[in-house]
Chain A
Amino acid sequence: MNPVPVLQAKNLVKRYGHVTALDGADFELRAGEILAVIGDNGAGKSSLIKALSGATVPDSGEIRLDGQPIHFRSPSDARRAGIETVYQELAVAPAMSIAENLFLGRELTRFGVVGRVLRILDKRRMLEEARAAMADLKIGIRSMTQPVETLSGGQRQGVAVARSAAFARHVVIMDEPTAALGVKEGNMVLELIRRVRDKGLPVILISHNMPHVFEIADRIHIARLGKRAAVVDPRRIGMSDTVAVMTGAMRPEDIPQECLA
């Protein structure tokens, strides 16, 4: 049984002038998993994610979504293909309401001429669907009309996650989702990420927070020097060994076979 990976990349190369950010990087995301991508600065993990989310176009290499080759020229292309990204800065408009932020850039308009020509918004429908999306992930915020800036950091993260989960069809990418949060709220977001996975959406998680990575990831993709160094199983390998591979202290060849994933 070898199911087609949801998202797969082979031999990605990306150069910025003299700097080679991606040096033949491979990548594979399986259905129903949370895949953590870790790597030191300059390891190429952000370039990898940018290529997968359409923010940059790789110089060469192949990306396949559900087995089909794809060429993203912009983040909108990736969104249209069903890949949603939760950015580190969250990309929410603080003064606008939760419902408005959920539908930012893809607002629902009323039916008929009123909607198509005048572009009048169907605010009621957006409120209802926002409520449904938040309830789906069991995020307990009552009012969808309150401005996002009145929420705590973890709740704002919840809004951003709910937005991506509501619109994603294939993949959700999360960039440092717990970075700015305290312990309690960080754990709340981890629980949220599990619920996204349980909805059937595989999650790519970029994080520097090793404890969180080890708590939540099904597999860990270690990026190093613009390539994929190894993919390990957090249940088998230890945190210090993982960090050693990440920094180059341990060679990928030296990873015991049962720790690989």
Chain B
Amino acid sequence: MRSSLIALAGAVLAAGAGAQQAPVIGLITKTETNPFFVKMKEGAQQAAQASGGKLLTGAGKTDGDNAGQVTALENMINAGAKTILITPSDARAILPAIQKARAKGVQVIALDSPTDPADGTDALFATDNYRAGTVIGQYAKAAFAGKPVKIATLDLFPGHPVGAQRHNGFLKGFGLTAPDAKATTLGTAAEVVCMADSYGDQAKGQTAMENCLQKNPDINLVYTINEPAAAGAYQALKKAGKEKGVMIVSVDGGCTGVRNVQAGVIAATAQQYPLKMAAMGVEAGVAYAKGGKKASGYTDTGVTLVAGKPLPGVDSVDAKKGLEQCWGK
């Protein structure tokens, strides 16, 4: 009698302990240092604390460091992670590691950018990058109101899906014929007089803008892949004395970028929400651990147009509002 009572007590304790074990969720970003991912990590940590999950974090060393992400993935699964949130550095190379994880019953959710193919992960929480380009294209179209336009695009680098989506979305939003959201090549148009690669870097963006201006000094609208490239473009325009007459639009919504919108350097930027991506990811992780239901499909985490000057027909928020929701410092 006594031995079975002890056994029953032990089982209850064990069950209780099991029920209280926090769901382990891993977050793997491209790098540790990009403020976008820093914000994502913050959002994940806040959400994990609130929902009682345990968060492990890791990253590659640089943009494109696939091996570093694979290592982090393996380590986290060994440490008991049942859900992995990942911003893949290489959309294809990461797939084998993800497949192995999913085969073990681990839920893998892509954040910010998809794997290739996108169904390599259980779900995707990301910005609709095509839409991000579209809203700034619409803004630019409203701003120009039919006046003649000469466009320069400062893109990422050839072959990157996000670079293509934002670029093509911008063309579409401006009213030009453009490839659809699935295309990975950059669309062209008669109004686009120069396309150059900035690699998302400020100094390289400056060089690209300078060369474009040299090619066509009458450029009056510049689409940039992100805000550092936009800052570089502005610097080039300032040196050429053209900063007043040229409009720059961008994507990202980092706090530095929004401040640039405030300062008039960038006319409008499409803000994205890394914190939201991470928070949703953590929620999905906790839900999977508790109820066994995986997240699925693509969830758009939203894009808001932050513009210095509101224009009719285009929804936007002002820079002050943008600063409340921005990421980075």
**Is there a contact between chains A and B in the complex with CB atoms less than 8 Å apart?**
no
Question: Chain A interface (Cβ within 8 Å of chain B)?
Answer: none
